Amino acid sequence: MARVLRAHRVRFWRLRSMNTCPVPHTQREQVWLGIGAAVGAATAIAVRRIWSARRLATSADAESKSTRCLPCEGLTEALASDVVAQKIQGRPLWSVTEEGRLERSFVAKNFQAALDFVNAVGVIAEREGHHPDLHITSYRTVTVQMYTHSLNGLTENDFVMASLIDALPVTYSPKWLREHPEAKAGQQ
């Protein structure tokens, strides 16, 4: 009976942290305990990133409750080029590409800032049902391209999404921000 209790105590203590365990661990057990701690930490970091993206998206949503994307089923044609030129004038961070897409590109402070921004855009895109093309290149250069895929052109929804994206906070690279002062004016 005493042997069974002692064996049970040893197993119980092996489940606890290595620092408080009275039983010396083998090298293999120490490796497994270390991997378990790393997996737990990675999970916590991933959950924190998801929640921060949702928090960024909801703060942007609170500022722009009046603008929403319309269902794409009712849209029959893309906006004319003169209407697009008029709508783009108030958006210094956006440009129209040769393919007729609305595009915004910037350099984030670091990879994490770029990833947080892309995740926040993803939350807004899912909620609105209008999904931009998102690219991270050179580990911190973010490019957002908007167009209505079903019409292969720009619609009012693209400009609504652009305003929602502009409301998101961005941590820009200091060098890029010095070269593009219009981005600083948009943040304030």
What CATH number does residue 182 fall under? Answer: 3.30.1360.20
Q: Which residue has the higher pLDDT, 20 or 110?
A: 110
Instruction: Render pLDDT for 60-109 as a digit per residue (tens, 0 to 9).
Output: 544 444 465 555 555 668 899 999 999 999 899 999 999 999 999 999 99
pLDDT at 182: 87
pLDDT at 152: 85
How many Cβ atoms sit within 10 Å of the Cβ of residue 174? 10
d(C-alpha 149, C-alpha 52), whole Å: 29
Residue 1: inside a domain? no
Residue 7: inside a domain? no
Residue 161 near residue 69 (C-beta atoms within 8 A): yes
Rama region for 135: left / alpha / beta (φ>0; ψ in -120 to 50; rest):
beta
- Domains of the chain: total: 1
Average pLDDT over residues 26-43: 61
d(C-alpha 102, C-alpha 33), whole Å: 50
Residue 33: inside a domain? no
- Full domain range(s) for residue 107: 43-187
